[in-house]
Amino acid sequence: MLAIAPRGHGITLVSSTLPQGELPVPTSSLLLTKAVTKYSAVVPCDWRAAEKVEAMSNVGVVICTMDEAVLLSLLVAVLLENHASRISRTLTIHPNRIMWLLTTDRAELRWFPQPPQRYAILSHVWAKDASGLPTEQTFQEVQQIARECAHTDDNPRDRVSPKIRQFCIFAEAHGFQFVWLDACCINTESSAELSEALNSMFRWYADAEVCYAYLHDVSGSERLATPDSEFRTSEWFKRGWTLQELIAPKDVVFLSRLWFPIASKRSFAPLLEEITGVDADVLMGTMSVHEVSVARRKVHPSCACKRRY
């Protein structure tokens, strides 16, 4: 028996054949149809009905009225995963503790109950129109492109914004299957998902194998340490999120406007200390930010009084 039922604020999935290890998230409708047809029945129900799932012994699968893509992906993963060793256990999935990442080969969003072992993350300045409103492609827009391409032979990556497309291409060339960037990997229409993303942001940056900082206003053609260089004066250093995105990741690789690597946190820590005022030891992870005195933190030139939020 496989059942999906609510428990408190989460979803409890109970199965006698739940595979061990990380669950992949296939989303092919063909695979879904095959899984449902071969293994079980799908019974839509509301939350109250789902609470009685344990008494419904004749039901193979219960799908509750949560995000459909999340549940269907989880269903396919559980039913089709082919592990030699299987155990009986209960897995609690919290619908608000989810992470969406883009596939680098197709720029399609995939849901993960926890961050995968390897992914890259992008730090960038949001593009804005003349009135100051953001023009970055959103979660909903990327999803819509994927739905439209599902009926054609188009690769969604060819239709997303140039920034998303180039990031996917760059990361794929460096061996990454999944990437994350804030503009399109957070469902801001869900207050629960937005809140969870904000609370998880530091951990997501820390867990990433590398953070790529895209500097749209840096050509990379001049020496970075030169006074008033494009690198020193880049808008990226003036954002409110810069400190978190600089400190949390294991390494930060800076990219020019043409997506060429021009520096890294590890190789340019002294220069970054000059620009931000953050101790090089903190940037390198050899000192915790909590070890820096409050007085020293207050005199850093990177304090809020110098930043544009």
pLDDT for 24: 36
Q: Is the pLDDT of residue 307 over 60?
A: no
pLDDT for 163: 97
- d(CA 147, CA 149) in angstroms, rounded, equals 5
Task: Please give the average per-residue pLDDT across 173-200, as a whole number.
Answer: 91
Task: Please give the average per-residue pLDDT across 88-109, as a whole number.
Answer: 70
**pLDDT per position as a tens digit, 149-172:** 999 989 999 999 999 999 999 999
CB-based burial label for 292 (10 Å; 0-12, 13-18, 19+) = middle
Q: Where are the domains of the chain?
A: 2-93, 99-306
pLDDT for 177: 97
Half-sphere exposure of 57 (CA within 13 A, CB side): 0
- Bridge-based pairing of strands 99-103 and 178-181 is antiparallel
| Contact yes or no for 275/226 (Cβ under 8 A) | no
pLDDT for 290: 61
Choose from 3-7, 138-142, 281-285 the range with maximum mean pLDDT.
138-142
Describe the crossing of helices 29-39 and 68-80 by its angle, rounded to 10 degrees.
Answer: 60
pLDDT for 288: 72
Secondary structure letter of residue 85 according to DSSP: -
Which residues make Cβ contacts (< 8 Å) with residue 260, sequence separation at least 6? 220
pLDDT for 7: 35
Task: Please give the average per-residue pLDDT across 34-53, as a whole number.
Answer: 38
CB atoms within 10 A of CB 100: 21
Residue type for 227, please? P
Q: Is the pLDDT of residue 238 over 60?
A: yes
pTM score of the predicted model: 0.68
pLDDT for 166: 98
Choose from 21-35, 78-92, 191-205 the range with maximum mean pLDDT.
191-205
Task: Please give the average per-residue pLDDT across 106-131, as a whole number.
Answer: 92
156-165 CB contacts, 8 Å cutoff, 24+ apart: 156/106, 156/107, 156/108, 157/105, 157/106, 157/107, 160/107, 160/184, 161/136, 161/137, 163/124, 163/127, 163/136, 163/214, 164/102, 164/107, 164/137, 165/107
Structure tokens at 53: 């799932």
> b/e per residue, 41-79, with b = 16+ CB within 10 A?
ebbebeeeebeebeebeebebbbbebeeebbbbbbbbbb
